[in-house]
Structure 1
């Protein structure tokens, strides 16, 4: 009872307040919603709707299957059944109703539905010619599929251009990631920059320099961003250049008197190879004859980042001849002179992760290691004239081997095609004993798929750019060749071959400009020059305009110039001293020789003081001695 009384009082108070404030509904509770019930109702509605759509779809499929089983009849027979069927199907099919007479399809219409192309008008049937055209299209599709499956068809070798680097071996090639610039280095110590977009058909390099003075260039490579170039030469200090050839970094040289190479800051012997990290743009790798593989950071030039030391089976130092990163940058591989291939984890520099002791013949320089694009296969080009592929997951024995690939250079390399189906390398030849070849092998079996005869010289470097789909080759006679296909390739060499050669600017003779003033007064008007040749002849006769050199001096000399015997003052003095025949061995006699003439004809001292000085009076010598003896006391007098 008390609760009811309190509720009544509250309601009364609310009514009083509402009447005083002037509005009703004051103090009412807000409307509440049962969210759980709303969610449950929505879920049920969605389930029912999905079930309805599924049932309609099943009924439609069953209806279409029953129509296919019935024998085809013309649309004119049994119109009533057609209309009833169409009405029944309209209730099951979602969408606008089908016009009467179009519900049933004949066999010809069903055949037309299978054909590719626009619908045929009523009563028209495809002829054999149309069917043959369809068969031709199918044949073309099959041919395209075969070309896609055959990697040899993708080799861009229909056209080529030749870049003249020099006369000696092109030992290094590098192409930036965008494919705009090519850099070549050779045994002539030169590094040349080629810009495809800036070159014309003359194919001239826009810059040439010698970054390492008198050391052969061993390797060149652009970073992943393409803003700097790693230069590895025959010295012990690798360099990093920018895109224009200016030095950014020079690695520090180590102390050659320290036995443990891990305790010195840099390499102490000739470099062999180097490469950039595929993911980190500031990190690069170098290997040297000092038996180490060193990792460097572009921002710290005073010391290496870490050191990897290859070891033989007996634990002795081994020289690495090539090095590379894996595609993900987690592994570092090095080929050594004892025929081993050693692979480290990038973060663990002590023990190798993979090691193959007899990868190539001991004593032969492994010239190249490269990973496939999927990162599972490693290809090695050995100095024993072999090419081998290795599976990283099973590194004990090679997958395939090719023998008889002659190589004479310690930097002969190999590379994978952009689709990862082919492996490319070059062969070496002796002078005038054949042509160097670029050989293509299938990746899986290393069967020879294709070859290109390049030139009458060895093929040292090869590079297949994935973006341009063009192949760059460095040869032993100083040429860099670029192979491309106008259909399959893009940009690169195709930009410069279409440009005509620039006209050579002949050195014109510089003459004074002639100012034409047509309305000048006659007194200021200059005679018009009829011919430049005549004016040049006149200028040649004018010694001031032609800067005619002065003729040789004849005689004793003039104008501050002396004559023969070298034409210098020193030579003139020497000549006069040699001509003077006087004997100056006795100096007193040489001076007294002029005493009589000086007394009779004084010239220097006496005439200057003649008017001011009195005549000198000299006392006799005997009188002077007597006066001196008289003035002195007796004990000071001179005793005779």
Structure 2
């Protein structure tokens, strides 16, 4: 019989086919892959852990026995020899430990043993799993830390980043639009002054200056600004009928087409024909955005097709008449489009059925007021609306007939007053408006479930129009009615954003060095060609003062008629000079022809102005002679009469 070990050796040396190996001329096709027996390895590891635990327990027993021996020798000095010759009886705890050590062979001790920290009492069901606990570990402190973390989770007010703030000066008029890219690197502000300013947190210093300002829509107020989901393009909605799309640097990419104002059916026009009110990007599709207008429609657009809208939704009142949508937004999934109208209704359409609304509430807000903002929660189940009737309401789209909760007494003077959810979806934020000299505009925080006010921030002595809470930066951007854009942050809770620019020192402006005269330095020039090096302008000014031509005082105006190239005080302008010196001058020339011909003789004798200029190029003039004799006969031909 062949032994298995020999078969294995033959396989390693000769391979599976010795004849083929001999024919090919080599001894084998290589060694087999090494195999591992994981069960044996685990069993070996378990045995090693058990042996190590047993040795540790034996050492602990020896230490305890040594301590007990020393105590016994101190208590009974007479029987020291007897105690040393006999074994010391163990305590019940030691007996239990020894029994446990005997039973430990049957238990599975996984991982390294605990570090010796005095006698340890164990039960039969205890197993040593994992590494030993670090020294100084206290379970009570760990429980306290967990309790504080739970308190912070239970109190979302502590997560509000309002300990620090910076102020960005947009202008003197209302900041009516705010936009922040998804990464939080750039902020854009737009206002009633028709300007759009770009702010780069990483490129700014402590002076907080915008790096670009432009007017994309000429003289129209900016009503909405938003970055796309990828942050590479910007949607600009202004007071005209055409929305624009800009790139990150502000250069135009696309402009929506304007509709035909003579077509009655708004579905047959290619675009809006009245002023825009709001707009936003699709959360999933980066090329699509939606706008709403005073023409009573909500239209979706594609950046790559600017000749016509993509879809159109008509807002209708309860009587079937046209309703003006003042705000519009997408749901978080992009499947629903919601619009707040001037008749107080909130209408929500499904993308698959754009003819009729899927959800609507006719009495959401007071009729005749502008619903300034609609925003969906991050979980997509709640909808918050900020009405022009000084209310804030939260709705459940599954039961859209009545609001879950509402808050009244929140003044709103602007048709774009914002509201937004916190990143953890537990708070709802909005701003209040104030009249000039009527107090401070505030930023209010409400609980989402009960709409109970939990926190407020005094922003400035003007209205709070826009608010934006970025989830990645954990910073709050606020636009006010006096042209300021404020950023609230916390050094510990916030990331990047405003923290990047406040730590940079203000750059000092370089003063341009002005020289009176550029000097050319030629060190090896001959002395006769060298120019004196001018080191200071003071000496040059002193030399110019001594120069009679450079320091010549202008001659004053003469009181009489002008002479010597100077005009009299009454002839400072050409018209006054003509009136005073020519038109009103009295002459004795009764016949103008005689007045002109009196200079003819002098001009023939000494020509000065005209004749010398043409003397070399012009020929001598020859005039026709006409005989005027009275005795001329009729037979002679008459000379050709000159036409007069």
Q: What displacement does 1:470 show?
A: 0.4
Q: 1:590 aligns with which of 580, 590, 593?
A: 593
Q: How far apart are residue 533 of structure 1 and its match?
A: 2.8
What SS does the aligned partner of 1:203 have?
coil
How many residues align? The count is: 553
Per the alignment, residue 624 of structure 1 pairs with 633
CA distance in 2, matches of 1:105, 1:323: 68
1:579 Cα deviation (Å)? 5.4
Cα distance in structure 2, aligned partners of 1:98 and 1:504:
67
Asked if structure 2 preserves the Cα contact closer than 8 Å seen for 1:272 and 1:287, the reply is yes
After superposition, the CA RMSD in angstroms is 4.9
Change (3 A) 1:191 1:627: closer
What do the CA deviations read for 1:502-555 (whole angstroms, capped 9, x no partner)? 213335433334455667665555444443333355568889999x99999994
8 A Cα contact 1:556 1:563, kept in partner: no
1:472 matched residue in structure 2: 477
Alignment check: 8 A CA contact 2:109 2:128 kept: no
Contact map agreement 1:90 1:98 (CA 8 A) in 2: no
Q: Which moved more, 1:407-416 or 1:610-619?
A: 610-619
Cα distance in 2, alignment partners of residues 330 and 215 from structure 1: 31
Q: 1:84 to 1:442 in 2, by over 3 A?
A: closer
* Alignment match, 1:388: 393
* 2:105 aligns with one of 87, 90, 96: 90
Partner Cα distance (2:437, 2:128) in 1: 67
Show the counterpart of 2:31. none
Work out whether residues 167 and 487 of structure 2, in 8 Å CA contact, stay in contact via their aligned partners in 1: yes
Report the counterpart of residue 243 of structure 2 in structure 1. Answer: 238
**Of 446, 450, 475, the match for 1:445:** 450
Corresponding residue to 2:467 among 446, 462, 468:
462
Equivalent residue, structure 2, for 1:77: 90
Aligned 1:393-432 pairs, distance under 5 A? 393-432=398-437
Say if 1:106 and 1:454 are closer, same or farther in 2 by CA, change over 3 A.
Answer: same
- Asked if the contact 1:562/1:572 (under 8 Å) is kept, the reply is no
| 8 Å Cα contact 1:562-1:569 kept in structure 2 | no
Show the counterpart of 2:7: none
Are residues 569 and 107 of structure 1, via their aligned partners in 2, closer, same or farther at CA, if it must alter by over 3 Å?
A: same
C-alpha displacement at 1:213, in angstroms? 1.9
Pair 1:301-2:316 in alignment: no
Structure 2 CA distance for aligned equivalents of residues 375 and 178 of structure 1: 22
| TM-score normalised by L of structure 1 | 0.73
Q: Does 1:106 align with 2:124?
A: no
Distance 2:487 2:113 in 1: 63
* 1:510 pairs with one of 512, 515, 520: 515
Question: CA shift at 1:166, angstroms?
Answer: 1.3
Q: CA deviation at 1:199?
A: 1.2
CA distance in 2, matches of 1:612, 1:119: 127
1:328 maps onto 2:343 in alignment: no
CA 261–580 in structure 1, closer or farther in 2 if over 3 Å, else same: farther
* Per-residue deviation, residues 359-406 of structure 1 (Å, max 9, x unmatched): 111111111000011111100001111111111111111111111111
3-state secondary structure, aligned to 1:90: coil
CA distance in 2, matches of 1:551, 1:460: 62
Give the aligned partner of residue 634 of structure 1: none
Q: Secondary structure at the match of 2:443?
A: strand
Cα distance in 2 for residues equivalent to 1:442 and 1:615? 114
- 1:462-497 CA-to-partner distances (Å, cap 9, x unmatched) read 000111110000111111110000000011111111
Of 296, 308, 315, the match for 1:291: 296
Partner of 1:13: none
Partners of 1:206 and 1:550 lie apart in 2 by 51
Q: Could you tell me how far apart the structure 2 residues matched to 1:445 and 1:596 are?
A: 108
- Per-residue deviation, residues 188-224 of structure 1 (Å, max 9, x unmatched): 2211111111111111111222222222111111111
Partner Cα separation in structure 2 for residue 578 and residue 568 of structure 1: 14
Aligned to 1:367: 372
Question: CA 1:610–1:149 in structure 2 vs 1: closer, same or farther (change >3 Å)?
Answer: closer
Cα deviation digits, residues 292-333 of structure 1 (max 9, x gap): 111111111121111110101110100001000001111000
- Residues 517 and 97 of structure 1, relative CA distance in 2, 3 Å threshold: closer
Distance (Å, rounded) in 2 between the aligned partners of 1:491 and 1:284 = 29
Contact 1:471 1:482 in 2 (8 A): yes
Listed one character per residue, the Cα deviations across residues 265-292 of structure 1 (whole Å, up to 9, x for unaligned) are: 1111111111111111111111111111
Inter-partner Cα distance in structure 2 for 1:611 and 1:154? 106
Report the alpha carbon displacement of residue 613 of structure 1 after superposing the two structures with TM. Answer: 8.7
* 3-state DSSP of counterpart to 1:293: strand
Instruction: Select the residue among 333, 340, 344 that pairs with 1:339.
Output: 344
User: Gaps spanning 5+ residues in structure 2: where?
Assistant: 1-18, 21-36, 51-56, 58-62, 66-88, 639-644
Residue 173 of structure 1 is matched in structure 2 by 178
Counterpart of 1:146 in 2: which secondary structure?
helix
TM-score, with length taken from structure 2: 0.73
Q: Which runs of 5+ in 1 are unaligned?
A: 1-22, 25-44, 61-66, 68-72, 121-129, 630-640
